[in-house]
Each structure stands twice: as structure tokens, then as C-alpha cells.
Chain A
Amino acid sequence: MLGYLARRIVLAVAVILTVIAALFAMMRAIPGDPVRTALGPRASEAMVETYRIKMGLDQPVIVQIWRFFSTILQGDLGSDAISGVPVARIIMAQLPDTLYLVLGAMVVAVVPGVWLGVLSATKRGSLFDRVTSVLSVSVMAVPSFVIAIYLLLIFAIQLSWFPAIGAGEGLADRLHRLVLPSVALGLAWIGYIARILRASMLEVMGENHIRTARAFGLSERKIMYDYVLRIAILPTITVLGMGIGQMLSGAVFAEIVFGRPGIGKLVYDSIAARNYPIVTGTLLVTTGFFVLVNLIADLLIAFLDPRVRNVVSR
């Protein structure tokens, strides 16, 4: 298990370093002189030269790379191009709202998704199974921002059950305002999870050890939840790990449509204002978060499946 853990962590670190390298390459690749871009066309030659030295752009590339990596790894993501506030502080202020939203979307996706998946696998071929299948595919096909707008129209404007915009104050109000955006972001995932889980449940149900469990007279409920689901849930966990990344990018739409603060809104505004330090900083933080979530997913799978941790550590 320890060997497995070490390998996964090394891999996660490698991914993050690659992303930082890609970020550096991307900044070099942007056409135009960064100093000219920063200071504007009317800056004097002396100002440009001073700024170039201040930014370290007069140094060889290898030194620039080293400085780039070392400042980022120290947690310094640079300063806001407009206000001069450290980017890390701005992102950390916005991050919790996005995490609540993604967490809410996960709950919306996982709880009904697992339930529908298990039920359609056990009632395979029934009317319930077929209706679930058609609905899953239809909902998956609708983009989440379309769902978001319809949710707003129906539940916030027509029925007035939920407030339309904002993140709210206090726990109850925050949760209340979290419902619609979470549903908008998570709804399509219900069907996706249900489909994947159904397929892997059916595969496991056909395995010999399930026949053994039946031959010992175990109850159908025990077989489904203890013997089948425990194995069938593994691919779903992997997909959910990946899904977090999708939800983070989906959060941009949800946050704009519902007027919520968060990383997505921050990136959107920063791109509009050409505020690149914030864009790259956010990219790094979300990548780090994504890598972390996938690391957790892998460890969860290793915890649930003894074969995984043994094969890799041997």
C-alpha cells in the first residue's frame, strides 16, 4: 500500500510540474513584448529597460525558468495586473464558493445516480430501466448552461422557490441559494453515473463469485450492496475523479448565470479584462485541485480493491 501511495504522489507531482512548464511555455509563446504590453505604447525606452530588469526578463531563459518554478512552488502566483493585490489571495477568497458549488453538484449527481444505476441493473430490461436509459441520454445531451437558464426561469422566476442570484449569507441562506446552481451543474451527471454504474453492475453480476454467493443463499439485497456494488462502484469513482475537472469548467457557466462569486466568475472577468496573472494563477490552482481529487480517487479505489494495491506494490 505504501509503495502504491508513493507512486501515485510522484505521478501527481509530475503532472503539476508539467502544467507549470506548459504555463511558462505558453507565456513565452504569446506574441509581442511582455514589457511593452505591460507598460503600454507610450512608455519611454528607459522605463522599458528598468521594467525589463525588474521583471528579470534580461536573464537567460534557464534562470527565468528557475525563478518561475521557484516562485510558484513557494505559493507566490504573482500580483493582479490592475490592483497589485497578490493573485493567491484573490483566488483563495473565491475558491470556497466554487468548491461548495462543485460539492453540491457532486451530491446532486452521485446520490440519485447511484440509486438509479443500482435499480436499473437489478431491474434490467424493465420499463423503469428503459425510461431511466432514455432520460439519462436526453439530459446528458443538454448543455448545463441551458439547464441553468431553464431552472432559473421555472424555479426562481415563475415559482419563486429559490432566489435567482448571489451566494447568500449564513448557512441556511447559502444552502438555499446553492440548490439551483448545483442542480444545473450536476443534473447531466446523474444519467452518466447511472449508465456507467448499471453497465459495471451487470458485468459483475455475471461473474462466477456472484453465482457462489447465490449458491450460499445470501439475500439478494446483501449480494447487490455488499458483493456487487463494492466492485461495480470502482469505475464510477474513476469517472467522478475526472468529472470534477469537468465540473470546475462547468462552474464558469453556473456562476455567471446565477451571479455567484467563485473561480469561474473570476476567470471570466479576468479574461475580459486581459488580467493574465489571475488567469494563469487560477489555472494552476484548479489543476492542482484536479490532480489532488484524482489522487484521492485512486487511493479510494486502492482502499476498496485489494488487487490494485497488491499488484502495484509487488
Chain B
Amino acid sequence: MSRDATQAPVLQVRGLDLSYDTPAGALQALRQVNLTIGKGEIVGLVGESGSGKSTLMQAILGLLPGAAKVQGGQILFQGQDLAGLSAPQMRGLLGDRISVVFQDPMTALNPVLTIGRQMIDIQHRSRISRAEKRARAIGMLERVRIPDPESRFNRYPHEFSGGMRQRVAIAMALMARPALLVADEPTTALDATLEIATIDLLRELQAEIGCAILFITHHLGVVAELCDRIDIMYAGEIVESGATAPVFRDPRHPYTQLLFACDPAQISRPMRHLPSIGGGLPDLTHLPPGCIFAPRCPRADATCRATRPADHQAGPSDLVRCHYPLAPRLEITA
């Protein structure tokens, strides 16, 4: 499914700047982040740990910790700026128009309340009887293939396996048929076979409900398998964005190229050492003056180190934040 230019996007993040107050000064966690998710589209957001994926997710959901401050930009959800909403207004959207599935199914559900109680509680907006809420919840459990949902309904989370708990979390998130589902590494804590089953289930339910999905992961294979579009994040910036298959074939940002080269799934022959990108993430309290990736970039020159790059359209990618995006693919020997 490609992006339909005539339809308004479900979510549009524009020029988002966000910083954390730390004892060492302001940590600029997100800088000029642009992200667009079309109606019914599945967008994969990839990046290494500390790249700002979780901060971006928390900003979209309005669940930022107290030390985080949005400094500028907009988070437009169906045309409404979420950054400007009050807490009660945001609560009105959460779990209804915007839902989320979190990473760790073992801790994401309340351990002392039954699954059923939690599934009834989240329908707090519906003006239907408790019996109807119960019936809806059981129906939803059936849709995510929980065996014997009637009796499982009164069970506690610790009586479910990890894969089943994640399916329960998906059932809860999709019960209100949201316009946007944020999935924060929903399969990272699961083993490989469960991962495939969970992704198949998500895809199936997505097709039925027609919601857009922001799929946060560091597993490139999952993005290639599931997502219409891919956004690559590095150190608080989205460095490349485009339709999944072309970007995988012909990445235009040096970081993307290196990231793909380091994916173990891409390596055909056994190696003694897995490839990695030299250097580490920059200190976000003292940003370099130029491109954020310049200190680790094999192609960086004086321009890269002195000035920040703008977003360009290059090759198959809609957005490449690089001074030299049109350069042909490099032979990487990382």
C-alpha cells in the first residue's frame, strides 16, 4: 500500500524539537523531526538504542516524563496538534483514537487485576452495560486467538504465556478500532516463531480495522516484512525516510547504508566478527556544529562538520538529511 497523496495523513510530526532537563544541561533528544503516517499505512521506525525512538513515541502519546519539554514543532493527529492539548483532552484520545502496544508483555499488564477487569476498564468511554463490555472483550480475545476466551477472561496475567499476553495487549489496543496504533517493539521480547505469528496477527487485524501503525523496532527484517514505509532515526533525528522496498534496495543516507550492512540477516557467509559502525552516539548536551552523523561518517568532509544538512529528496527516498545524498552506493567495509 503506497501513500495516497490526496488523503490527509493520520499523523504528521513537523519540525519537532524536544529536550530533557539534565544536570549537565539541556539534552536535545529530538531535533527537527519530521514524520508522516498516511491513513491505514504501516510505518516502521528503526534506529539503535538511544536514537530517540522511545522519546518520539512518548511525545506522540503525551506520556513524556516531567523533565522532557517540547521546544518547537507540531504533532498533528488528524489535523489536531497533540503538543498543545491539555492532559484531559489527550486522555480523551488515548485508547480510543490512538492506541499503543508496549514492548514487554510480561510487565505491561496489571498483575493483580484479571485480564477481564482490565479489558472492561479500558472501555470507560463506552456507554454500554457491563455485560456488553464483557461480551465485546471476549469477542476481541477470540479475534486474537486466545483459546477458550470465556474462562481466560477471569484469569490473571501471570497465568498467560508471554505470546498470549502480547496478544491480549493487542486485543486491548485495537478494541476501540483506533485510527493510529503505536507498536513499541511489540515482538522484541518474544521468540522467533511467536514473533512471526504476532506480526501476522497484527497485519490481519490492521487490514480489517484499517488503522495506521507506527511500528517501532530495531529488527530490520520485521520492517521489510511488514511495513509500507521506513523511517530511520539516528541520535534524535530522522535521517532517511521512504517506501520500504526501494529504501532497502538503494539507501541514500550513509548511516542507513551502514545500518543495513550491519544487519546480521544480510550477511551470507560466516565471519569471525560481525560488522559494526565505528565510534559511538554523540553527546546530545553538546551537539557538534555540523551534521550529527559527521563524526562517524566515512564520507564526511569540511562542509559536513561545519553546517547542518537540510532534508532532501533523493533517489527513492522522500527525505534524506545529508549534504551529499545523491552519491551512489558505497562499498562498505565496516
Interface residues of chain A, those whose CB is within 8 Å of chain B, are 207-219, 222, 226-227, 230-231, 304-307, 310
Give chain B interface residues in 170-192, CB to chain A under 8 Å. 172
Report yes or no: A215 in contact with B156, Cβ–Cβ below 8 A: no
Interface CB pairs A-B, < 8 A, 14: A207-B107, A209-B108, A212-B102, A212-B108, A213-B121, A214-B63, A215-B61, A216-B121, A217-B94, A218-B124, A222-B121, A227-B113, A306-B158, A307-B112
> With an 8 A cutoff between CB atoms, is B264 at the interface?
no
> In the complex, how many angstroms separate the beta carbon of A125 from the nearest chain B beta carbon?
9
Q: Cβ of A227 and Cβ of B110 under 8 Å apart?
A: yes
Verify A208–B104 contact, CB threshold 8 A.
yes
B111 touches A231 (CB 8 A): yes
Q: DSSP majority for the B interface?
A: loop
Residue contact B100 to A217, C-beta cutoff 8 Å: no
Whether B289 sits at the interface, judged by CB under 8 Å, is no
Q: A211-B63, A306-B156, A307-B158 are in contact. Are A217 and B112 (CB under 8 A)?
A: no
Interchain pairs with CB closer than 8 A, number: 79
Q: How many angstroms between the C-alpha atoms of A310 and B125 in the bound complex?
A: 33
Tell yes or no: B96 within 8 A of A by CB.
yes
Residue among B61, B92, B121 with the most chain A CB within 10 A? Answer: B121
Contact of A217 among B92, B107, B110, B158 (CB under 8 A): B92
Number of interface residues of B (CB under 8 A): 29
Name the one of A210, A214, A215, A230 contacting B112, with C-beta atoms under 8 angstroms. A230
Cβ A208 vs Cβ B102 within 8 A: yes
Q: B76-101: which have CB < 8 Å to A?
A: 90-96, 99-100
The 7 residue pairs across chains A and B that have the minimum distance between CB atoms: A216-B95, A217-B94, A208-B107, A217-B91, A216-B122, A306-B156, A217-B95
> Which residues does chain A contribute within 8 Å of B63, judged by CB atoms?
211, 214-215
Do B113 and A208 have beta carbons less than 8 Å apart? no
Extra A-B contacts (5), CB below 8 Å, given A217-B122, A307-B158: A212-B109, A215-B63, A216-B172, A227-B110, A231-B112
Bound Cα distance A218, B124 (Å): 7
Query: How many Å lie between the Cα of A227 and that of B113 in the bound state?
Result: 8
What are the residues of chain B within 8 A of A305 when measuring CB–CB?
A: 111-112
Give A212 to B100 CA distance when docked, in angstroms. 8
List residues of chain A with CB within 8 A of the CB of B124. 217-219, 222
A307's partner among B102, B107, B156 (CB-CB below 8 A) is B156
- Give the CA-CA distance A268 to B102 in the complex, in Å: 60
Task: Determine the chain A residues whose CB is within 8 A of the CB of B109 once the complex forms.
Answer: 209, 212
Q: How far is the CB of A33 from chain B (nearest CB, A)?
A: 59
Q: B158, A215: Cβ atoms under 8 Å?
A: no
Cβ–Cβ < 8 Å partners of A306 in chain B: 111-112, 156, 158
Pairwise interchain contact A217-B108, C-beta atoms closer than 8 A? no
Whether A216 pairs with B94 at a CB distance below 8 angstroms is: yes
Asked, given contacts A231-B112, A310-B158, whether A209 binds B91 with beta carbons under 8 Å apart, the answer is no
Which residues from chain B contact A227 at a C-beta distance below 8 Å? 110, 113
Once the chains bind, are A209 and B158 in contact (CB under 8 Å)?
no
Complex alpha-carbon distance, A275 and B71, angstroms: 77
Which B residues touch A214, using CB under 8 A?
Answer: 63, 94
Q: CA A77 – CA B280 in complex, angstroms?
A: 76
A218 near B110 with CB under 8 A, answer no
B110 adjacent to A213 (CB under 8 Å): yes
CB neighbours (8 Å) of A217 from chain B are: 90-96, 122, 124-125
In whole angstroms, what is the CA distance A207 to B96 when docked? Answer: 22
- Which residues does chain A contribute within 8 Å of B113, judged by CB atoms? 226-227, 230
Select from chain B the residue with minimum beta-carbon distance to A211: B63
Give the residue name and chain of the B residue nearest to A219 (CB): B91
- Check A209 against B107 for contact (C-beta < 8 Å): yes
CA distance A312 to B63 in the complex (A): 36
A209 contacts which chain B residues (CB < 8 A)?
107-111
* Contact, CB under 8 Å: A307 / B108: no
Task: Kindly state the separation between the CA atoms of A29 and B327 in the bound complex, as whole angstroms.
Answer: 94
B99 and A215 within 8 A (CB) = yes
Tell me which residues across on chain A come within 8 A of B91, comparing CB atoms: 217-219
Question: In whole Å, how far is A121's beta carbon from the nearest beta carbon of chain B?
Answer: 15
Q: Is the CB of B111 within 8 A of A215?
A: no
The answer to whether B100 touches A215 (Cβ under 8 A) is yes
Q: Kindly list chain A residues whose C-beta atoms are within 8 Å of the C-beta of B111.
A: 209, 231, 305-307
Query: Which residues of A have CB within 8 Å of B93?
Result: 217
A289 to chain B, nearest CB (A): 29
User: How far is the CB of A4 from the nearest CB of chain B, in Å?
Assistant: 15
B94, B104, B121: the one within 8 Å of A215 (CB): B94
Smallest CB–CB gap between A229 and chain B, Å? 11
A306 to B112, CA, bound (A): 6
Selected contact of B102 from candidates A211, A222, A226, CB within 8 Å? A211
Chain A residues with Cβ under 8 A from B94's Cβ?
214-217
A209 to B110, alpha carbons, bound, how many Å?
Answer: 5
CA distance A305 to B158 in the complex (A): 11
Closest to B121 in A: A218
**Distance of B39 from chain A, by nearest CB (Å):** 22
| A199–B25 alpha-carbon span in the complex (Å) | 28
In the complex, what distance in Å separates the CA atom of A230 from the CA atom of B94?
Answer: 23
CB-CB nearest in chain A for B96 = A217
Asked if residues B112 and A304 are in contact (CB atoms below 8 Å), the reply is: yes
Residues of A within 8 A of B156 (CB): 306-307, 310
Q: How far, in whole Å, are A209 and B172 apart by their CA atoms in the complex?
A: 13
